[in-house]
Chain A
Amino acid sequence: MYTQSFNVQEASGQKKAPTAASLENPEFQARFDRKIDADGKIEPQDWMPEAYRRALVRQISQHAHSEIVGMLPEGNWISRAPSLKRKAILIAKVQDEGGHGLYLYSAAETLGTSREQMLADLHSGKAKYSSIFNYPTLNWADVGVIGWLVDGAAIMNQIPLCRCSFGPYARAMIRVCKEESFHQRQGYEALLVMMQGTDGQKAMVQDATDRWWWKCLAMFGPPDTDSPHSAQAMRWGIKRISNDDLRQKFIDATVPQARVLGVTLPDPELKWNEERQHHDYGQIDWDEFWSTVNGNGPCNKERLATRVKAHHEGQWVRDAALAYARKHQNVNLCGTDQELRSNFALSSTHSGKEAA
């Protein structure tokens, strides 16, 4: 789960002009620019402008935080899932989100930041995460709608990131995208089942759709005319498609899905425009969006408090694992020569040992 809406400066809502091209080393800068122009990849050891590094650390770490915090609204429903099947599916999905966070933290660490620093920034509130997780999941249909719409919007956003100019980020995104399709499909299918149920169940699906629709549209970030970092991110090959274009793509893809499902999308202005070959849609409430980004959404405090509490309560486990590792370090630092040979020999057909 991810959006670019959280890719905002730490003091969000304030519009700062994009940083000008680095002058730290014109020759390196020229080589970097040529690589970007040729659609090449930048790897961690390559020279890169400081502003590029900073922008990536911000975006990747906030993306990672979103995956981690994104586990909370759905995690609430694991013990309340309506069947063992749905519980198993939800556990798998939430575990995936944790995995996605870990891929992304690792990618950010290649840029010289540390896990400890990133978590400290999340826990202090300095770093943002996607605002969509600051809304509550009120009923079981919310879990389905999160899969269908929130993960659907995330997929729209993440697919272009697979071609991001920074190698480790692009590779992490390829892995994430492979897993994300399951998230959307399980949500949509759970809703299809509810729509075959009682009137009460159908009403829950419509209610959840009504509450999440506009928030999902805002996930794509401010309109292009109001998105100061977009031009620079495009220039750097970090961002490939504009906020408004992605939002339009998402709407066009979702309208027929809503029809099949049998729900109404809560926008009276939503209609097909023959001339544009796209759907027209109504005004997004950007004041609400910024208010939530800036900490005043319904669940901001609760989400962060839960995350910090989980981190503190897990500390003894991390410390114990380290103490155990140190105690045993001298006993078996590495295997015998024979074991090493069988693990590493290129021609080896030996199996089983490595996985043991």
Chain B
Amino acid sequence: MNTPALRDWPLWEVFVRSKQGLEHKHCGSLHAADAQQALQMARDVYTRRQEGVSIWVVPSANITASAPDDKDSLFEPAADKIYRHPTFYEIPDEVGHM
């Protein structure tokens, strides 16, 4: 099938802010020729029912992701640092909420 555009339209990741005051959250991806078109298509594909008040589109190729194999070395060391959590510390009851 002779469709060069299908091959060449880059992939974009779509982030939607569901309401003012909340962060943008990743909600999916799509193919589009350029950023403007990606925004337009993101609007049609991901926000047909007022799911958002703002959209970001980012070329997927520009996202650098951590590798699954690095999971242990990146995140595991935090497991033995329980002193980073408030529940690590015993506070007398009479102090009340702290």
Task: Enumerate chain A interface residues (CB-CB to B < 8 A).
Answer: 43, 45-47, 92, 95-96, 99, 102-103, 106, 109, 114-116, 119-120, 123, 171-172, 175, 179, 311, 315, 318-319, 321-322, 324-325, 328-329, 343, 346, 351, 354-355
Tell me, rounded to whole Å, the shortest Cβ–Cβ distance linking B3 to chain A. Answer: 6
With both beta carbons as reference points, the residue of chain B lying nearest to A356 in the complex is identified as: B39
Interface size of B by CB at 8 A reads 35
Contact A354 B56, beta carbon cutoff 8 Å: yes
Contact B54 A355, beta carbon cutoff 8 Å: yes
Contact B48 A354, beta carbon cutoff 8 Å: no
The answer for the CA separation of A325 and B12 in the assembled complex, in Å, is: 14
The answer for the CA separation of A95 and B44 in the assembled complex, in Å, is: 9
Contact A354 B55, beta carbon cutoff 8 Å: yes
A92 neighbours in B (Cβ, 8 Å):
48
B56 neighbours in A (Cβ, 8 Å):
343, 354
Mask for B31-45, Cβ within 8 A of A = 1, else 0? 111100100000011
Contact B48 A96, beta carbon cutoff 8 Å: yes
B6 neighbours in A (Cβ, 8 Å):
115-116, 119, 318
The answer for the CA separation of A106 and B32 in the assembled complex, in Å, is: 12
Mask for B1-20, Cβ within 8 A of A = 1, else 0? 11111111101000001001
Dominant SS among interface residues on chain B: mixed
Q: Offer 20 A-B interface pairs, CB within 8 angstroms, sorted by A.
A: A43-B68, A46-B68, A47-B68, A95-B44, A99-B48, A106-B28, A120-B1, A171-B28, A175-B28, A311-B3, A315-B5, A318-B3, A319-B4, A321-B32, A321-B33, A322-B8, A324-B33, A324-B34, A325-B33, A355-B54
Q: Given A318-B5, A343-B56 in contact, is the A351-B37 Cβ separation under 8 Å?
A: no
Contact A102 B45, beta carbon cutoff 8 Å: yes
The answer for the CA separation of A115 and B53 in the assembled complex, in Å, is: 29
Contact B33 A123, beta carbon cutoff 8 Å: no
Q: Which one, A95, A343, A351, contacts B48 given CB within 8 A? A: A95
Q: Given A116-B3, A328-B34, A355-B54 in contact, is the A106-B29 Cβ separation under 8 Å?
A: yes
The answer for the CA separation of A351 and B44 in the assembled complex, in Å, is: 21
Contact B9 A318, beta carbon cutoff 8 Å: yes
Which of A179, A322, A351 counts the most chain B CB atoms within 10 A?
A: A322
The answer for the CA separation of A47 and B69 in the assembled complex, in Å, is: 10
Task: Enumerate chain B interface residues (CB-CB to A < 8 A).
Answer: 1-9, 11, 17, 20, 23-24, 27-34, 37, 44-46, 48-49, 53-56, 65, 67-68
Contact B1 A351, beta carbon cutoff 8 Å: no
Tell me, rounded to whole Å, the shortest Cβ–Cβ distance linking B59 to chain A. Answer: 10
Tell me, rounded to whole Å, the shortest Cβ–Cβ distance linking A60 to chain B. Answer: 13
B9 neighbours in A (Cβ, 8 Å):
318, 321-322
Contact B45 A99, beta carbon cutoff 8 Å: yes
Tell me, rounded to whole Å, the shortest Cβ–Cβ distance linking A167 to chain B. Answer: 12
Which of B11, B27, B34, B44 counts the most chain A CB atoms within 10 A?
A: B34
Q: Which one, A95, A116, A322, A329, contacts B1 given CB within 8 A? A: A116
Q: Given A43-B68, A322-B9 in contact, is the A351-B20 Cβ separation under 8 Å?
A: yes
With both beta carbons as reference points, the residue of chain B lying nearest to A333 in the complex is identified as: B35
Tell me, rounded to whole Å, the shortest Cβ–Cβ distance linking B62 to chain A. Answer: 10
For the complex of A and B, 7 pairs with smallest distance between CB atoms:
A318-B5, A325-B34, A321-B33, A325-B33, A354-B54, A116-B6, A355-B54
Contact A355 B33, beta carbon cutoff 8 Å: no
A95 neighbours in B (Cβ, 8 Å):
44, 48
Contact B53 A355, beta carbon cutoff 8 Å: yes
Tell me, rounded to whole Å, the shortest Cβ–Cβ distance linking A30 to chain B. Answer: 16
Which of A92, A114, A354 counts the most chain B CB atoms within 10 A?
A: A354
Which of B11, B20, B33 counts the most chain A CB atoms within 10 A?
A: B33
The answer for the CA separation of A321 and B33 in the assembled complex, in Å, is: 6
A46-B68, A115-B6 known, 11 other contacts, Cβ within 8 Å:
A102-B45, A103-B28, A119-B1, A175-B28, A179-B49, A311-B1, A315-B3, A318-B5, A319-B5, A322-B4, A354-B54
Contact A354 B17, beta carbon cutoff 8 Å: yes
A343 neighbours in B (Cβ, 8 Å):
56
A96 neighbours in B (Cβ, 8 Å):
48
The answer for the CA separation of A123 and B3 in the assembled complex, in Å, is: 13
A324 neighbours in B (Cβ, 8 Å):
33-34
